[in-house]
Amino acid sequence: MALQLSDLTAFTEQYIVERTTDVIFKQSPLFTRLLNRRRMRFSGGTYVQRPIIYSELNGDWFSKGDTFNISYVTTDTAFTVNMKTNYVNVTLYGIDDILNRGPQAAFSIVESKFANASMKMAKLIATGLYQDGQSSVSPPFTGALSGTKSMDGLLAWVDDGNSSGTYLTVGDQTQSTAAIGGITRTDLFAASAYSFTTGITPAAAVGGANSYVNRGYSAYSLIDVNTAYGFAWFGNDYVDLMTGTQTAYNKIWNTLQPQQRYNDGQSDVGKVGFQAFRFNAAEVVIDKYIPSDGTNGLLLGLNTNYIELYISENKKFQFGFTGFKEAQNSIDIAGQFLFAGNLMVPNPRCCFKIVGPVLL
């Protein structure tokens, strides 16, 4: 058998750089904003129930002798979402506790695994923010859609519920979601306002639980992006964050005037290192965790004042660690980090979605 160590290697230790570099995980500007500014506490209960006003009271101009319409009007209802849970597992070989210690250990395997676990948890949540949580898809969720165990994400919330068969392809990002948060979208509309069959939401159908959606987006135009922005603008409620694929970001950047392309370093996402520029009153960012169906790209316009990330107050499910436990008939140990939470968008009309191959 050949000798494994030569004169040099027999007397020379390896030099291990005392740091490691992440070459797989990414960061999400949307998750960063929601965690810092739109994190809501879930103290307990069977689900999250978020009241909304969906109908107007009776009222009109009148003159002498007129009678009032005093009929009772049901004006309020509520979105409901269940808590969704995920885990990240850390398993360690018991024998490694003998080897990875003392001055010969450049850094701890445990610390490296814990750092990996925190990034894996962020990946699961950041990806879930963009999925639908409605589909009959089994894990792992590698595309745009996800199974019901995943978060009720923006792909379902930012939608118009159109079920037309003229433009939908089941299983891709153009798929529409008829119900969200326990409410069927058509129930918040008169039939005349909801009878549309094209891939672009008409003005009469923007409202209730409906966003403005442009599906099958095949030819990029900044005017179309501005049109979507306008449909989601209601007085002092407007889109403040536009998040999309690299292609979507590039196309908007390329069509803006040079003086408009400055990086916004003063925003919350800018201060933590994300590059962003302004379009109207919105910051435009790239999010590498936006899922793709392989055919379509995605651009979302979000009013983050109406996006609420609910996270359990239970410490164990608030990125808590269960502690290491020995595996049966083994000295190996395993423990899990846990999360419980879900997404709520109580005012979808203040958001928009553009989806199509030109943005991929």
Angle made by CA atoms 157, 160, 161, in degrees to the nearest 5:
90
Query: What band does 299 get if pLDDT is binned at 50, 70 and 90?
Result: very high
Give the pLDDT score at 137: 76
Q: How far apart, in Å, do the first and last CA atoms of the chain sit?
A: 55
Tokens of 81: 């979402």
In the DSSP assignment, the letter for residue 301 is: E
Give the pLDDT score at 272: 46
pLDDT at 93 over 70: yes
Instruction: Please check whether residue 291 lies inside any domain of the structure.
Output: yes
Question: What's the chain's length in residues?
Answer: 360
**C-alpha 201, offset from chain centre:** 22
Give the pLDDT score at 138: 75
Instruction: Please check whether residue 39 lies inside any domain of the structure.
Output: yes
DSSP SS3 for 185: helix
Instruction: Please check whether residue 281 lies inside any domain of the structure.
Output: yes
Residue 133: domain span = 29-54+76-359
pTM: 0.88
Cα dist from 49 to 119, 132, 243, 303, 346, whole Å: 30, 19, 27, 20, 10
Lowest mean per-residue pLDDT among 69-78, 269-278, 333-342:
269-278
pLDDT at 303 over 90: yes
What would the pLDDT profile of 78-89 be if each residue is shown by its tens digit? 999 999 999 999
Instruction: Please check whether residue 81 lies inside any domain of the structure.
Output: yes
C-alpha closest to that of 297 among 345, 232, 250, 337: 250
Instruction: Please check whether residue 3 lies inside any domain of the structure.
Output: no
C-alpha span between 275 and 249 (Å, rounded): 11
What's the structural domain count of the chain? 1
C-alpha closest to that of 155 among 306, 13, 291: 291
C-alpha span between 162 and 204 (Å, rounded): 13
Are the beta carbons of 258 and 266 closer than 8 angstroms? no
C-alpha closest to that of 264 among 288, 282, 246: 282
pLDDT at 225 over 60: yes
Instruction: Please check whether residue 43 lies inside any domain of the structure.
Output: yes
The dihedrals phi and psi of 357, each to the nearest 5 degrees, come to -65, -25
Are the beta carbons of 160 and 185 closer than 8 angstroms? yes
C-alpha closest to that of 236 among 302, 303, 299: 303
Mean pLDDT estimate for the chain: 85
Instruction: Please check whether residue 24 lies inside any domain of the structure.
Output: no
DSSP structure string for 111-180: HHHHHHHHHHHHHHHHHHTTS-S-B--PSS--SS--BTTS---HHHHS------TTT--TTSTT---SEE
Instruction: Please check whether residue 340 lies inside any domain of the structure.
Output: yes
Q: Count of CB atoms within 10 A of residue 155's CB? A: 26
